[in-house]
């Protein structure tokens, strides 16, 4: 039964603990924590100091009361010893009356050795509870009960009256301990109020000081959030010669390193395909990507008559033309999951199904080729309107087994694909006519249900022992046209936005 009760209680405890955790704020500022710790330390210190002072004052006042009571009782006993023996009542009454006139003394009494009262003035303790046979001064605390006042704490000091070392009686002096208690209470209250006032001032000072101390940390936190949002240009200008200063300097160095790394990655991604760059940067410990055999498709797109065209243009115009068209080709390639293997003069080499498995790499390559030709047609309309020479592409496509990976030396490597299928794609591109896309017969048969192509002649290809039968790609089937048109519009819009941003930047 006990075990069952314990098991039943565990979920309740867990629920209550989770409820308490939910009540806690998700973020507690460090300034609040520092202020709380400093305030608690100050309160603890002030309380300890106040308690120490109060206790010392109480002990001092009690010791003074004891000394005064002892002295008065011994003095009365000494003066009363002879009158007790001579039974001089007048003298005894004068002694008690004179002592009772002291405002500190509430009562004075002279007793015989057996406790009979001889003379008294003021308040006297109960004789039944009073010791009259002690050899030294004793103190007896007691409370005086009255109807109209709260109980008052008194202390009676009893001293033996001796004559020639013979005890002849006792002297009793009664003092008020309530006055001492009231003085102690007033002192305690003063200490409490002073502690509270100092605590309030210390709390405000601690919060202000903690805010000052935590301000650089707050700036670091905000700068870290900016870094997380991608703002790598953020820097902290605080100059300090303490640990926080070293931390700020380290943060600035880190931010500068991240910015440099981001710039290197951006530049690197422009020299190689973004997918290749991502794979290399994700595995910096192993720079050399393992070469592996793949079944992929390669596309070569070459500008027709580029040599003659470049002779009529300035070098800057040639560079501008190539950059423009290669940018369109790169965008089209990315839309169909391909990678730009390289740019060879005025020719672009694209690969599909190399870095990642793609069962549609052949169809994606053909779709990309049609998209490139339609882009060129669209751009030629604008070039004709502007009086500029038109640009036409010839494209060759082939698929098959090839080797993909980083090839080259340890000092310089290039991610590319090599093999007989790649060489044949390059040969097909070289024999294609302007605005023509050609592929070999085997590739057409794999895409016959999706691609519209016209059979061409059998051509001898340099480097091939047998002639190759080619097909000219005319289009893709109707159900795939909407995606092609959407991709065409996306590339045109993207390039237009890029050009507008550059124009605004130059302005």
Q: Per-residue pLDDT for 2 more than 50?
A: no
Alpha helices in 272-314 (DSSP H): 274-282, 306-311
- Are residues 243 and 115 part of one domain? no
Q: Are 340 and 327 in contact (CB under 8 A)?
A: no
Select from 425, 290, 443 the least CA-distant residue to 344.
425
Q: What digits encode the pLDDT tens for the residues 268-277?
A: 555 555 566 6
Greatest extent of the chain over all pairs of C-alpha atoms, in Å: 162
Indicate whether 279 belongs to any domain: no
Output the CA angle 482-484-488, nearest 5 degrees.
115
Question: Per residue in 384-418, pLDDT tens?
Answer: 998 888 999 999 999 999 988 777 666 666 778 89
Q: Are residues 256 and 388 in the same domain?
A: no
- Both 101 and 202 in one domain: the answer is yes
pLDDT band at residue 281 under the 50/70/90 scheme: low
Q: What angle do CA 453, 303, 381 make, to 5 degrees?
A: 80
Q: How confident is the model at residue 9 (pLDDT cuts 50, 70, 90)?
A: very low
Q: Would the pLDDT of 7 be above 50?
A: no
Assigned token pair, 170 = 């006792």
Tell me what percent of the residues of the chain surpass a pLDDT of 70.
84
pLDDT score recorded for residue 307: 86
Task: Note the pLDDT tens digit of each residue in 62-89.
Answer: 888 889 889 998 998 899 888 888 888 8
Comparing 101-105, 119-123, 253-257, 271-275, which segment has the lowest mean pLDDT? 271-275
Q: Do 388 and 441 belong to one domain?
A: yes
Among 242, 268, 294, residue at a domain's last position: 268
CATH number, residue 498: 3.30.70.1230
Judged against a pLDDT cut of 70, whether residue 466 lies above it is answered with yes
pLDDT (tens digit per residue) in 414-465: 778 899 999 999 999 999 999 999 999 999 999 999 999 999 888 887 767 7
Is the pLDDT reported for residue 221 higher than 50? yes
The tally of domains found in the chain comes to: 3
Nearest partner of 160 among 228, 74, 241, judged by Cα: 74
Judgement on whether residues 449 and 386 belong to the same structural domain of the protein: yes
pLDDT at 13: 46
Better-scored residue on pLDDT, 280 or 322: 322
For residue 49, the domain's CATH number is: 3.30.450.20
Same domain for 302 and 195: no
Structure tokens at 45: 């210190």
């Amino acid at each position: 039964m006990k075990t069952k009760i314990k098991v039943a209680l565990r979920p309740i405890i867990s629920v209550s603990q989770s409820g308490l955790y939910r009540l806690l704020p998700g973020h507690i500022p460090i300034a609040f924590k520092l202020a709380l710790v400093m305030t608690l330390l100050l309160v603890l210190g002030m309380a300890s100091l106040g308690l120490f002072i109060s206790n010392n004052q109480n002990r001092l006042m009690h010791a003074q009361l004891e000394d005064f009571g002892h002295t008065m009782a011994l003095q009365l006993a000494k003066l009363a010893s002879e009158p007790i023996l001579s039974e001089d009542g007048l003298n005894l009454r004068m002694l008690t009356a004179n002592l009772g006139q002291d405002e500190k003394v509430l009562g004075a009494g002279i007793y015989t050795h057996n406790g009979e009262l001889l003379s008294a003035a003021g308040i006297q303790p109960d004789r039944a509870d009073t010791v009259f046979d002690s050899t030294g001064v004793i103190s007896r605390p007691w409370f005086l009960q009255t109807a109209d006042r709260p109980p008052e704490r008194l202390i009676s000091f009893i001293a033996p009256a001796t004559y020639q070392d013979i005890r002849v009686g006792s002297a009793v002096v009664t003092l008020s301990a309530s006055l001492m208690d009231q003085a102690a209470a007033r002192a305690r209250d003063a200490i409490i109020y002073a502690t509270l006032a100092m605590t309030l001032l210390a709390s405000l000072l601690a919060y202000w000081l903690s805010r000052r101390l935590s301000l650089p940390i707050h700036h670091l936190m905000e700068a870290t959030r900016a870094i997380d949002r991608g703002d790598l240009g953020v820097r902290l200008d605080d100059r300090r010669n303490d640990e926080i200063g070293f931390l700020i300097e380290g943060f600035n160095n880190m931010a500068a390193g991240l910015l440099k790394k981001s710039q290197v990655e951006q530049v690197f991604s422009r020299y190689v395909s973004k997918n290749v760059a991502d794979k290399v940067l994700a595995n910096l410990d192993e720079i050399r990507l393992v070469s592996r055999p793949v079944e992929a498709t390669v596309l070569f797109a070459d500008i027709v008559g580029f040599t003659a065209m470049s002779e009529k243009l300035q070098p800057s115009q040639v560079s501008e033309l190539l950059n423009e068209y290669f940018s369109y080709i790169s965008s089209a390639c990315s839309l169909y999951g391909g990678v730009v293997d390289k740019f060879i003069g005025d020719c672009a080499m694209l690969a599909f199904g190399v870095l990642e498995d793609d069962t549609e790499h052949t169809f994606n390559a053909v779709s990309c080729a049609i998209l490139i030709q339609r882009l060129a047609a669209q751009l030629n309309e604008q070039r004709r309107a502007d009086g500029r020479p038109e640009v036409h592409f010839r494209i060759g496509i082939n698929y098959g087994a090839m080797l993909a990976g980083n090839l080259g030396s340890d000092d310089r490597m290039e991610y590319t694909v090599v093999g007989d299928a790649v060489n044949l794609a390059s040969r097909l591109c070289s024999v294609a006519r302007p605005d023509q896309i050609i592929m070999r017969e085997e590739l057409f048969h794999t895409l016959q249900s999706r691609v519209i192509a016209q059979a061409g002649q059998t051509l001898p290809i340099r480097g091939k022992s047998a002639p190759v039968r080619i097909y000219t790609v005319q289009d893709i089937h109707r159900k795939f046209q909407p995606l092609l048109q959407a991709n065409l519009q996306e590339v045109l819009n993207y390039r237009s936005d890029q050009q507008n941003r550059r124009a605004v930047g130059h302005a």
